[in-house]
Structure 1
Amino acid sequence: MKEKNITISFQIKVANSFFARLKGLMFRKDPIKNEGLLIIPCNAVHMFFMKFPIDIVLLNKQNEVVKVYQNLKPWRMTKPEKNAYSTLELPAGSINQFGIRVGSIIHCTNIH
């Protein structure tokens, strides 16, 4: 099966410190739009204290998708994924919008 390259042009903030990874998107009042959060390292997430659902994309070190969670609602958790190195949190509906699936290679063009 041929790998599908997917480019995401949203503004992507990187959370790679302990505090930034812990906080993530918690306590934000409004849903994210045209933006995302890349958490490194991270192989599972929780939605505690979240006020809106998001899409979760778990990536290996080569940015290949190893697991997806669509429309993960507040107060839910994902199971740890042993093959995941990072987690990309996107607005709900992004997985369908971009056609992201296991095996896709993710390219983010606007990382901060």
Structure 2
Amino acid sequence: MTVYLHDFDGKHSLTMNTGGLAADAAVTAAGHEPNGYFWEGLVRFAWPDIAEHLDFDSEAGTFCAIGGASDLARLRTVVESVITAPDTVRGIIARAETSGFEFDD
């Protein structure tokens, strides 16, 4: 499992180590760095309805979202579906760039 849900004294977070993911080559080919900041941007663009309920604390080697358990469970489902799907990631990046969205990677 690459995506982890954590519960520390009632505070919930989701983390994912970046690098070595199946979608990394697609991210790099699109001119981006497949780091925590990139994945944070992808989540903010692709799933704003989930992202608006979360706080983020990503770093170069780690994606991190903090929020309610149900929002993080939804996030886990969508993130797990794209980190193994380079074509899906390419499509999201293309839509983001067309809309003028800028990734902070």
Higher strand share: 1
Q: TM-score, normalised by structure 2?
A: 0.30
Higher helix share: 2
